[in-house]
Amino acid sequence: MTTAQRLLAVDIRTEQDVVLARQRARQIAKLLGFDVQSQTRLGTAVSELTRNAFRYAGGGRATFVLAEDGARRLEITVTDTGPGIANLADVLEGRFESSTGMGMGILGTRRIMDHFEIASSPAGTRVMIAKMLPARVPATQELLATIASAVSKAVPGDPLGEVLQQNQELMRVLHELQLRKDELAASNRNLEDTNRGVVALYAELDARSDFLRKSSEVKTRFLSNMTHEFRTPLNSIIALSAMLQQRTDGELTVEQARQVGFIQSSAASLSELVSDLLDIAKVRAGKVAVKATPFDARDVFGALTGMLRPLLSGSAVVLTFDQPEHPVTITSDEAKVSQVLRNFISNALKFTERGEVRVSVSLPAPGRVAFAVADTGVGIPGEHLVGIFEEFYQVETSVSQRFKGSGLGLPLSRRLAELLGGSVEATSVIGIGSVFTLELPQVYNGPSAAILVDQPVDPSRAFKRQALIIDDNDVSRYLMRNLIPASFEVIEATSGYEGIDVVQRLQPDVVFLDLNMPQLSGYDVLDRLKGDPLTKSVPIIVYSATSMDEMVISRLAKADGVLSSRGAGPLTSRELTRNALQKIGLLPVGFGDADG
């Protein structure tokens, strides 16, 4: 319910009444506790409305009321009996233009009041404005009596005094505006300083990001180059120690055989570390190609069963593969999926002293496939579950002290999973066991790798027997000579330039070419020999410890065969060499010799 107490009414008949109404508005506002700025706003609003009533309607009345309906406010109503405002809607929208300034007072008043109402008709116009009272002012009867007494005793001011008052108010407003302008300018300066700081910070972040990116690239190149440099002598050590173990050059004593075994196992461990480092460097550099083909998860389980069961000899651990009842077809890189699972299973077997390691596959969501490797091992503390997928991170346990690893298997698995569009995850409970999960898209949709196609056999060249080895490394040439069938006459060249000269002079039946040579690399030798009409028909078999990624394969498109010594023992390498010779027609299928 709204209550209203009338404070004052001023009839507007002359211009002096307009001045009086303004004075009374300011006086009442001051008595009600309004601040100076609000007093000025109320006086200005009343002055504008009463001036409109006098100018356009010939007069009117201004009524001052103290109203309350839960909130207390000063209401001022200005009424007239003029012809009304014909274009009120346009005036309120700011679209009406008048040479006399009609409508500007109405718009200005509406902006500075808390409440504004207007009604206009041919019988007259009524405008009601209101300003909420300050909360600290109680509207008591004593206050109302004070206001009534003060208003009745007030002497109307003369127009000149009112002009002076308005000038003072204007000066005060202008001063406040200048203060606000100065504050705004200071804020803008602070904002500009902040913006400059932000820009400088972004520039620094960009510079640091670029530095980190370049540092990462340098580290990746260093890892790649160093692992390539390590791989050749390591493969030589492994191959030579294997030849010693096979008693190729005579019997060994028991102690010698034991020592050679230590050499072989140490070199194999170091070779595995080098391979993992190179794989990680290649994945980081984006140089690992995905060879996506359809395969069944059951076939992967079958291959892993045959590969890993020998590790369980004499163990108290059972390795179980949960074969799915129905085919689970996946289109991805089977070798990389197997590599990740092999890492998971090897770790599980290593850290499970007794119990079970169980491997399963499921379809957690449409288009997704998940492989899980669960064990009953020692478990991993929760704070280490994220760190174990970082390079060289190892959890110190009694079991890990017995089985020292490189700390690269799980990081490599994570990067391979990301390469395939998937992810890896680990959960664990101490004393209960761990579960490692590989989740992938069921159909890989990234770029795929190119594949070398075997060349057909040329029977007319089946029994020609001269082979040239081009390699700067003495040990590598020695090993390669032992892999070539004895029916071939083997000649050697120790550099790329010497090799080109020998091919041009002797026209050998086949060239075995190493890729990693100083001065003139194997790639350059291959391009020159295949680009020379005199030598382009000479078959060239490239051999190297370099991993055959998509970039390497594309550069070897002109080669007649490719041998990779990565992970191959002497017997396997000899068989691969024979297969390469058979594919280019220099050995018949099924050919063997005394060395075999």
**Same domain membership, residue 419 and residue 519:** no
Q: Is 569 a domain residue? A: yes
Last residue of a domain, one of 414, 441, 468: 441
Interatomic CA distance for residues 62 and 240, integer angstroms: 115
So what's the pLDDT on residue 330?
93
So what's the pLDDT on residue 449?
45
**Same domain membership, residue 328 and residue 366:** yes
The one-character DSSP state at 290 is B
Work out the pLDDT band at 332, boundaries 50, 70, 90.
very high
**Same domain membership, residue 400 and residue 316:** yes
Averaged pLDDT, 2-10: 86
So what's the pLDDT on residue 113?
92
Q: Answer yes or no: is pLDDT of 484 > 60.
A: yes
So what's the pLDDT on residue 124?
93
**Same domain membership, residue 465 and residue 404:** no
**Same domain membership, residue 428 and residue 486:** no
Last residue of a domain, one of 441, 474, 502: 441
Q: Is 122 a domain residue? A: yes
**Same domain membership, residue 496 and residue 380:** no
In whole numbers, what is the pLDDT of the chain averaged over residues?
80
pLDDT, tens digit (0-9, with 9 covering 90-100), for 223-273: 666 655 666 677 778 778 877 877 777 788 888 888 888 887 777 767 766
**pTM (predicted TM-score):** 0.41
**Same domain membership, residue 129 and residue 87:** yes
**What SS3 state is found at 437?**
strand
| CATH for 325 | 3.30.565.10
So what's the pLDDT on residue 154?
62
Last residue of a domain, one of 111, 129, 157: 157
Q: Please state, as a whole number, how many other Cβ atoms lie within 10 Å of the Cβ of residue 47.
A: 21
Interatomic CA distance for residues 288 and 550, integer angstroms: 7
**Same domain membership, residue 431 and residue 467:** no
* Residue labelled with tokens 């080669």: 559
pLDDT, tens digit (0-9, with 9 covering 90-100), for 285-308: 666 678 888 999 999 998 888 777
Work out the pLDDT band at 123, boundaries 50, 70, 90.
very high
**Same domain membership, residue 88 and residue 54:** yes
So what's the pLDDT on residue 285?
60
Q: Is 453 a domain residue? A: no
Non-local CB neighbours of 266 within 8 Å, separated by 6+ positions:
none
Q: Is 410 a domain residue? A: yes
**Same domain membership, residue 471 and residue 435:** no
Work out the pLDDT band at 592, boundaries 50, 70, 90.
low
- Encoded tokens for 568: 């191959």
**Same domain membership, residue 146 and residue 20:** yes
Sign of CA dihedral 510, 514, 520, 525: positive
C-alpha distance from residue 358 to each of 169, 314, 433 (Å) = 88, 18, 11
Q: Is 249 a domain residue? A: no
Question: For the chain, what is the total number of helices (H) and then of strands (E)?
Answer: 16, 17
pLDDT, tens digit (0-9, with 9 covering 90-100), for 309-322: 766 766 788 899 99
So what's the pLDDT on residue 541?
94
**Same domain membership, residue 389 and residue 304:** yes
Percent of the chain having pLDDT more than 70? 78
Q: Which amino acid belongs to residue 175? A: H
Phi, psi of 74 (to 5 degrees): -95, 120
Strand locations in 109-209 (E)? 115-121, 124-132
537: containing domain: 459-583
Work out the pLDDT band at 102, boundaries 50, 70, 90.
low
| CATH for 550 | 3.40.50.2300
Interatomic CA distance for residues 289 and 548, integer angstroms: 9
Q: Please state, as a whole number, how many other Cβ atoms lie within 10 Å of the Cβ of residue 338.
A: 17
Q: Is 528 a domain residue? A: yes
Q: Is 555 a domain residue? A: yes
Strand locations in 33-168 (E)? 60-68, 72-80, 115-121, 124-132
Interatomic CA distance for residues 23 and 143, integer angstroms: 19
pLDDT, tens digit (0-9, with 9 covering 90-100), for 450-481: 333 334 444 444 444 789 999 988 888 888 88
Q: In terms of C-beta density within 10 A (0-12 exposed, 13-18 middle, 19 or more buried), how is residue 213 classed?
A: exposed
So what's the pLDDT on residue 42?
92
So what's the pLDDT on residue 229?
64
Among 83-87, 115-119, 409-413, name the most confident range. 115-119
Q: Is 181 a domain residue? A: no
How many folded domains does the chain comprise?
3
Q: For 349-363, 401-415, 434-448, 576-590, which range has the lowest pLDDT when averaged over its residues?
A: 401-415
